[in-house]
Structure 1
Amino acid sequence: MTVYADVLVVVNYIINLLIILASGKILGIILSRKRACLSALLGAAGSLIIFLPYIGWWFQLFYKIFLSGAMAAAAFGCQSWKRLAKSLFVLLSVSFLFAGILLAVSYLIKPLNVLFYNGIVYFDISMLMLLATTTAAYFLLLLFERLLFSRTSEKKLYNVSVMVNGKTLAMKGLADTGCQLKEPFSGAPVIVCDKELASRIAPSEETRYRVIPCFTVTGQGALRGFRPDEVSISGENLQTRTSDVYIAASREPIHGEYQALLNPQLVDRG
């Protein structure tokens, strides 16, 4: 079989990107587009090892784990070894599931020519077939994630009400152990809110704003946060009110079941 480098890279990039997006949903992480694309590009570039002379299975295994670790770090961040290990485990699990679903759907539609060499799979596949099979695999994975993880996710969702200058904004918040942001001077926990929602109640007084250092999956840098008059958080066996908190606008939109990420410190108080 003739292997074309451009087809190899493009196919792997698309597949990797869908795997990363599905992994992010399972992990409950809001992905930065740049980081997701960078991670997918790393995986696509790593597939070029298929052009090297045959290497032993042990090196293939080491290489795949190293490459997957680099992809997980690029997409989801590496603030702690525990978080990186969890991200890597989910990424590898989704990769295996994705590969199985992709092959099954492909053979049901039309038998394919597949080459497996140096731990890399090359599909002799048309662009139309690629779009059909990868889309089907992605939605099947989302269905799997919803059925398997929805009950766990519900336990982490809270009703959040933010009050600023007489205005009130209600939203759903997800308590995420990966969201440990705090305002550096006061040590107050931070709620990362969808940027469009945050703009609705953002105060005009500049004195209420603080720069919050940010080393999360949304990228390194800083978020601009403000102190509300009061935040009310309610959920299963929890009802709490506090003004010792900051609201930061996310860099990327947060849509879906929740519109904010909560520092677990806020719900652990209850």
Structure 2
Amino acid sequence: MPIKTVVYLDVLLLTNFLLAYFLLLAAGALSGQRAGFGRMLAGSGLAALSALFLFAPPQPYPVQAAYKIATALGITAAAFGRRSLRRLLTAACWYAALNIALAGVVMLVMLNTGVRWLDAANLTVYLHISPLLLLGLCGVCCAAVELGLRLLSRREPTVKTAGLEFELCGQLVRLRAALDTGCHLQDPLTCLPVLVVSYPDAKARLPAAADAFLAQWFAGQDRAEPPPGARLRLVPCGTAAEKGLLPGFAVQGISLITEKGVLGLGRSAVVFAPRSFGSTDYEALYGSDFM
């Protein structure tokens, strides 16, 4: 006598909703994305409804595969948005991989407990196990993702800073500088490496005359008169985003502040960048050939 399976629709929808919520959290963590609570509810709700395909008449395999791909993209798009196709595909792939991993864990448990009942239709599997056990196994998968991310996350190396001082417009300026191995700017007149200073980060420490000149320059007044007695330097600078000239000044010498005293580094130039370096630990950058 054939055994009939009774499926409680409310339990099926709620279980799939909760499973999708946790799997979307893990997929977001793996793809470097964070979704708002409302979007997570929308994605989880769509995932729960997609499970109803289990009860549809048997479809050809191309239709089943297309449905699975479309629902994975739709679920992740509902959760994380569609602003970037690459990020959407990344999240969808992680979401699909986590679903497969969860199914593998459940199958492993079933094989080791002697329970082998399942229903499959249209590439959708219904497992005859307790919903609480299924949620617990989903939590195990999500915890494994979180643990792996914590163990494999790269720690940012400690930035070593050095105290530097130089005289500008008759005033002694002291700044903290960090090594940037990609900094190779040179004074076009002397061919000596220069110190790159963030104007927004260091403006409070600059002489008033130099500050006024740089403010006018970065406001678009590139014909502003430099401070009296200051020797203007314009250093070409190119990045992946733009190219331009950085204003600066020639200085008699930059000195390194050490525990044993002040060490002179010789004459050089100081140029100013219009943007912050994004750190409170330093206001300037120097290349490996500076010191």
Structure 1 length-normalised TM: 0.53
Is the 8 Å Cα contact of residues 102 and 141 (structure 2) preserved in structure 1?
A: yes
Alpha carbons of 1:77 and 1:2: their partners in 2 closer, same or farther (altered >3 Å)? same
Could you tell me which of 146, 149, 153 is aligned with 1:150?
153
Kindly indicate whether residue 84 of structure 2 is the aligned counterpart of residue 104 of structure 1: no
Match of 2:135 in 1: 131
Cα separation, 1, equivalents of 2:72 and 2:85: 14
Q: Which residue of 2 aligns with 1:86?
A: 90
SS of 2:72's partner is helix
Structure 1 residue 89, shift from structure 2 partner: 1.9
Structure 1 equivalent of residue 182 of structure 2: none
> Are the counterparts in 2 of residues 114 and 121 from structure 1 also a CA contact under 8 Å?
yes
Q: Does the 8 Å contact 2:19/2:135 carry over to 1?
A: no
Residue pair 2:28, 2:35 contacting (<8 A) in 1 also: yes
- 2:246 alignment partner in structure 1: none
Greater CA drift, 50-59 or 61-70: 50-59
Q: Is the alpha carbon distance of 1:108 and 1:138 closer, same or farther for their aligned partners in structure 2, counting shifts above 3 Å?
A: farther
Question: Is structure 2 residue 24 aligned with structure 1 residue 23?
Answer: no
After superposition, the C-alpha distances for 1:25-74 in whole angstroms (9 at most, x for unaligned) are 11222221111111011011011111111111111100000000001111
2:73 — aligned with what?
69
Aligned residue for 1:116, secondary structure, equals strand
Equivalents in 1 of 2:17, 2:137: separation in Å? 14
- Residues 179-211 of structure 1: CA deviation (Å, up to 9, x unaligned): xxxxxxxxxxxxxxxxxxxxxxxxxxxxxxxxx
Partner SS for 2:58: coil
DSSP-derived class of the 2:278 partner: strand
Q: Is the 8 A contact 2:15 2:135 kept in 1?
A: no
> CA 1:91/1:130 → structure 2, altered by over 3 Å: closer, same or farther?
closer
Task: Give the fraction of aligned pairs with identical amino acids, expressed as a percent.
Answer: 27
The one of 41, 46, 50 equivalent to 1:42 is: 46
- Shift of the 145–31 alpha-carbon distance from structure 1 to 2, 3 Å rule, reads same
Q: What is the identity, as a one-letter code, of the residue corresponding to 1:233? A: G
What secondary structure sits across from 1:233 in the alignment? coil
Q: How many residues align?
A: 165
Give the distance between the partners of 1:62 and 1:157, measured in 2 at CA. Answer: 48
- Tell whether the 8 Å contact from 1:98 to 1:138 is kept in structure 2 after alignment: no
Instruction: Report the Cα distance in structure 2 between the residues aligned to 1:113 and 1:234, rounded to whole angstroms.
Output: 58
Q: Is the 8 A contact 1:19 1:98 kept in 2?
A: no
Query: Aligned partners of 1:71 and 1:231: how far apart in 2?
Result: 39
Q: RCO higher in 1 or 2 (8 Å CA, sep ≥ 6)?
A: 1
Aligned to 2:122: 118
Cα distance, 1:105 vs structure 2: 3.9
Q: Are the aligned partners of 1:115 and 1:122 in contact in 2 as well (CA < 8 Å)?
A: yes
| Runs of 5+ consecutive residues of structure 1 not aligned to the other structure | 159-229, 242-270
CA offsets per residue over residues 131-186 of structure 1, 9 Å max, x none? 33222222223234444x523xx45999xxxxxxxxxxxxxxxxxxxxxxxxxxxx
SS of 2:153 mapped into structure 1? helix
Q: Which amino acid is 1:21 matched to?
A: L
Bigger mean CA offset, 100-109 vs 85-94: 100-109
Structure 1 residues 44, 156: closer, same or farther in 2, change over 3 A? Answer: farther
Highest CA radius of gyration, 1 or 2? 2
- Give the structure with the larger helix fraction: 1
Give yes or no for the alignment of 1:57 onto 2:61.
yes
Provide closer, same or farther for how the CA distance between residues 129 and 98 of structure 1 changes in structure 2, counting only shifts above 3 A. closer
